[in-house]
């Protein structure tokens, strides 16, 4: 078990945004959350990472540790990394400096590991090695997304939370991201919770998916359901509960 949400509810102020969300992701799996804008997808990731208060339910991370109520830096040190929507890189810092920001969770536990993890990330992303001393603001959108993912990977996480990595990117770069996620799953046994609007990207790399609609998570579905456009449309629009691909 790598990540479990059990009846999770979270809010902005007095407004509950997600309600009774439950899912389970085993080590090495990629789970995607899809759904319309405003459904609560980003809220789910932010609640897991400790940026939003959990009003009820439980979050269980690696090694069975309960996460709700923890500060984000403690959650990061437990092996969970977060790549936010929009990448969140520091444009005025170099590629190297951005990557080292991601190594912060390692500083307290194993400073000597930082250099090894930096080299590992640069081997995985040759384009970043070529531009390691350039300011990150000079990178293309796809290169910035690779930098954001590399910054998360440098802490050697067990769980990666990835929010809309395809946003604003060309189709060929989206395919590269899907291929990267497949490689990470196979080589590093990395568990990924992926929030994404691009269904094709999800189909290329995810093991299963959930539709999040109006703050509530529909039952787990496989890639065959995602290939059924009518079923998916009905799930988004609330014409069925998402559990039966023939329920149209």
| pLDDT tens readout for residues 57-100 | 999 999 899 999 999 999 999 999 999 998 889 999 999 999 99
Percentage of the chain exceeding pLDDT 90: 67
**138 domain residue, yes or no:** no
Share of the chain above pLDDT 70, in %: 92
Question: In Å, what is the CA distance from 246 to each residue of 29, 80, 242?
Answer: 26, 37, 10
What is the C-alpha separation between 54 and 39, in angstroms, rounded? 17
Which residue, 169, 189, 163, 129, is CA-closest to 44? 163
Retrieve residue 214's tokens: 């109006």
Tell whether 172 is covered by a domain: no
> In this structure, what CATH number is given to the domain that contains residue 14?
3.40.50.300
Task: Give domain status of residue 140, yes or no.
Answer: no
Are 77 and 109 contacting, i.e. CB atoms less than 8 angstroms apart?
yes
CA–CA distances in Å: residue 139 to residues 96, 101, 153, 190? 13, 17, 19, 26
> What pLDDT, in 10s, does the model give residues 173-192?
999 999 999 888 887 678 99
Residue 56: inside a domain, yes or no? yes
- Alpha carbon distances (Å) from 192 to 32, 53, 152: 8, 22, 12
For residue 13, give its domain range: 1-79+190-243
Contacts of 168 (CB under 8 A, 6+ apart): 141
Task: Say what the pLDDT of residue 241 is.
Answer: 61
User: What does pLDDT average to over the chain?
Assistant: 89
Domain for residue 148, yes or no? Answer: no
Q: What is the rounded distance in angstroms from the CA atom of residue 248 to the CA atom of residue 245?
A: 8
Residues 138, 216: Cα–Cα separation, whole Å: 39
Q: Confirm whether 55 is domain-assigned.
A: yes
pLDDT at 141 over 70: yes
Task: For residue 98, give the nearest of 154, 49, 42, 52 by alpha carbon.
Answer: 154
Predicted confidence (pLDDT) per residue in 216-244, tens digit: 999 999 888 888 888 788 887 776 565 55
Number of domains observed in the structure of the chain = 1
Note the pLDDT of residue 32. 97
Tell me, yes or no, whether 215 lies in a domain. yes
What pLDDT score does 1 carry?
Answer: 61
Residue 58 belongs to a domain: yes
């Amino acid at each position: 078990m790598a990540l479990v949400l059990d009846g999770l509810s979270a809010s902005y102020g007095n407004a509950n945004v997600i309600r009774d969300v439950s899912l389970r992701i085993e080590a090495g799996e990629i789970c995607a959350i899809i759904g319309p804008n405003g459904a609560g997808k980003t809220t789910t990731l932010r609640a897991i990472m400790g940026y939003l208060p959990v009003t009820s339910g439980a979050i269980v991370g690696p090694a069975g540790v309960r996460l709700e109520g923890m500060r984000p830096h403690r959650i990061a040190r437990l092996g969970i990394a977060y790549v936010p929507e929009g990448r969140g890189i520091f444009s005025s810092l170099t590629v190297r400096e951005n990557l080292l920001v991601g190594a912060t969770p390692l500083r307290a536990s194993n400073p000597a590991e930082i250099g090894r993890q930096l080299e590992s990330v640069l081997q995985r992303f040759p384009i970043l090695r070529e531009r390691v001393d350039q300011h990150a603001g000079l990178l293309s959108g796809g290169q910035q997304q690779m930098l954001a993912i590399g910054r998360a990977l440098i802490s050697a996480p067990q769980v990666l939370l990835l929010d809309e990595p395809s946003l604003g990117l060309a189709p060929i770069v989206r395919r590269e991201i899907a291929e990267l996620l497949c490689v990470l799953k196979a080589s590093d046994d990395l568990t990924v919770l992926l929030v994404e609007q691009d269904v094709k990207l999800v189909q290329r790399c995810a093991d299963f998916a959930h539709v999040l609609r109006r703050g509530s998570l529909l039952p787990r579905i496989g890639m065959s359901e995602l290939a059924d456009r009518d079923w998916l449309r009905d799930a988004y629009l609330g014409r069925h509960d998402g559990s039966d691909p023939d329920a149209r």
